[in-house]
Amino acid sequence: MIKVGINGYGTIGKRVAEAVTLQDDMKIVGIVKTKPTYELRGALDANFPIFASTKSKIPFFEKYGVKVSGTTEDLVADADIIIDCTPGKLGVNNMDMYKSAGTKAIWQGGEKHAPIGISFNSLTNYSESFNQDFVRVVSCNTTGLSRTLYPVLQEYGIDNVQAVMVRRSGDPKDSNRGPINSIEPVLGVPSHHGPDVQTVISNLNIQTMAVKVPTTIMHVHCIIAELEKEPNVEKIIKLWEETPRVDLIDGYLKNEDSKVSNLPGTAEIMELARDSLYTRGDLNQIAVWRDGVHAFGNKLYYYQAIHQESDVVPENIDAIRAMCGLEEDNMKSIMKTNASLGIN
């Protein structure tokens, strides 16, 4: 049983912790927080040991009745592997602490690839992380692009991909980053997403752009892929239907000569996730609009939606298995994780 510690119990950390509790080959031995805020509720209800980020923070926790089991260093010393979900660009500063303790660590997509050296996607490059000490799970957008482009690359070959990321402005709980009264393009090209995809699919030629819009619930990708062979839309859809963690959805339903609105946008997709009784109303899968898939000559056009708070959660579970040598076969790990999380 692999002992897992969570350093940073926020949007991703709390979701990964809950996912770990559903596995039969790993367990949570503690979580780290910087302050005793409301986000601790889930950890307290689950009886996770609570660790303060530093010794000086312990009295703050005790003042509000939170029993503290130690500091970050104590948890790192006890765990086999740490999932570092601290704020982006800060987590890599913990590397020396993990090295000194001889503890494996997984970072999230907010960190750069270079300092860590290995980036992870369950479908595309699982084996590169087998028995490794330090790995980075790529971001929500990179995960989404990789899941749908990789099977197309394998089946058809890809000459070039051009993709636009239509990004949410903040997460639902981010009152300081909520909906902006603006549409903000990322003026540098490529946006970081294209180079990031290449850390897990090295032979993919991809250029990306991004724009931030006033919503909090999902990202949308608009993708044009120029393939080596002329694509058949029905076969592409079937390929994605057979790809784990990809869901085909219908934006509109045909009713004789008319169309009926079904899942035309991200609001309806998230409502479906809530109605499907997924934990927290999350959607670990990438939603691809079936009626938005088109082909003209060798070019494939499609749209997909990414739930930024949760699509990387199963990736973290698979990364633990790979790094700790629990399972060599990526598909076996993916299926095991999917079954535990109720992913169809």
Domain holding 276: CATH number?
3.30.360.10
Q: How many Å is the Cα radius of gyration of the chain?
A: 20
Rounded distance between C-alpha atoms, residue 86 and residue 69, angstroms: 19
How many residues appear in the chain? 344
Active site residues: 140
pLDDT at 175 over 90: no
pLDDT at 291 over 90: yes
Rounded distance between C-alpha atoms, residue 164 and residue 93, angstroms: 31
Which pLDDT score, from 0 to 100, does residue 88 have?
A: 80
Which pLDDT score, from 0 to 100, does residue 129 have?
A: 98
Same-domain check for residues 286 and 317: no
Same-domain check for residues 130 and 148: no
Same-domain check for residues 6 and 84: yes
**The domain containing residue 211 runs over which residues?**
140-306
pLDDT at 83 over 80: yes
- Which amino acid is it at 224? I
Which pLDDT score, from 0 to 100, does residue 295 have?
A: 98
Same-domain check for residues 146 and 114: no
Same-domain check for residues 90 and 182: no
Q: Which of 8, 14, 1, 15 is nearest to 310 (CA)?
A: 15
Compute how many other C-beta atoms are within 10 angstroms of the C-beta atom of residue 162. Answer: 17
- Indicate the pLDDT class of residue 305, thresholds 50, 70 and 90: very high
pLDDT digits (tens, 9 = 90+) for 190-237: 999 999 999 999 999 999 999 999 998 999 999 999 999 999 999 999
Same-domain check for residues 299 and 321: no
- Which amino acid is it at 314? P
Same-domain check for residues 151 and 298: yes
Which pLDDT score, from 0 to 100, does residue 29 have?
A: 98
Which pLDDT score, from 0 to 100, does residue 283 have?
A: 96
Average confidence (pLDDT) over 81-108: 95
Which pLDDT score, from 0 to 100, does residue 174 have?
A: 74
Rounded distance between C-alpha atoms, residue 144 and residue 201, angstroms: 13
Q: What DSSP letter does each residue of 44-80 carry, written as one string?
A: HHTTPPEEESSGGGHHHHHHTT-----BHHHHHHH-S
- Indicate the pLDDT class of residue 279, thresholds 50, 70 and 90: confident
Same-domain check for residues 219 and 172: yes
Same-domain check for residues 43 and 84: yes
> Is the CB of residue 293 less than 8 Å from the CB of residue 237?
yes
Same-domain check for residues 146 and 275: yes
Which pLDDT score, from 0 to 100, does residue 62 have?
A: 97
Token pair, residue 306, equals 């990414």
Same-domain check for residues 267 and 319: no
Residue 314: its H or E element: helix 313-323
pTM of the predicted structure, to 2 decimals: 0.96
Provide CB contacts within 8 A for 90, sequence distance 6+.
none
Domain holding 83: CATH number?
3.40.50.720
- Indicate the pLDDT class of residue 257, thresholds 50, 70 and 90: confident
- Overall number of domains in the chain: 2
- Lowest-confidence pick of 8-17, 275-284, 323-332: 275-284
Same-domain check for residues 132 and 165: no
| CA angle, residues 72, 28, 339, in degrees to nearest 5 | 145
Rounded distance between C-alpha atoms, residue 294 and residue 298, angstroms: 11
| CA angle, residues 235, 343, 283, in degrees to nearest 5 | 90
